[in-house]
Amino acid sequence: MQKKIMFIGASGSGKSTLIKTLRGCGEAVKTQAVTFEDGYIDIPGEYMDIRRLNYAVITTAMDADAIFVVQDSTSSKPTTPPGFAGMFNIPVYGVVSKIDLPTADIKRASKYLEMCGVKGKYYPVSAVTGEGIEELRELIENL
């Protein structure tokens, strides 16, 4: 892939698992540092969880062609600060992860993505069942 696609979100939101699923390889492990693999940029969730580390996300985004904000559908809190996605001058998309779980709330997760400044359509996905993965893969390929 020629484009650089960055995934951001809270710890445990499913960023690394989603990237591995999109790449069709391996099992996800906890991201300890910013990783660049096959055009995908994976950010440790702590960079979003700990607000004073948000600058690392902003700096890394300068190398990206698009950003995907991953919101865990089972989480009761937003993955990013309000308005955070609005600061980027590249396309920003919203992904609602873990939609296969019984406690998934896609509507709530979509509201959180809207609060953080992601506009447009949101992509609900499950790395376990594969639901929504192909649509997301096609979107990325067509960027």
pLDDT recorded at residue 30: 73
3-state secondary structure of 114: helix
pLDDT recorded at residue 33: 81
The whole domain housing 33 covers: 5-141
Predicted confidence (pLDDT) per residue in 72-91, tens digit: 999 999 989 999 999 999 99
pLDDT recorded at residue 73: 98
CATH of the domain at 22: 3.40.50.300
pLDDT recorded at residue 1: 56
The CA distance from 133 to 94, in Å, is: 13
Tokens describing residue 59: 């700096």
Average pLDDT value for residue range 10-25: 92
The CA distance from 93 to 85, in Å, is: 9
How many domains would you assign to the chain? 1
pLDDT recorded at residue 44: 92
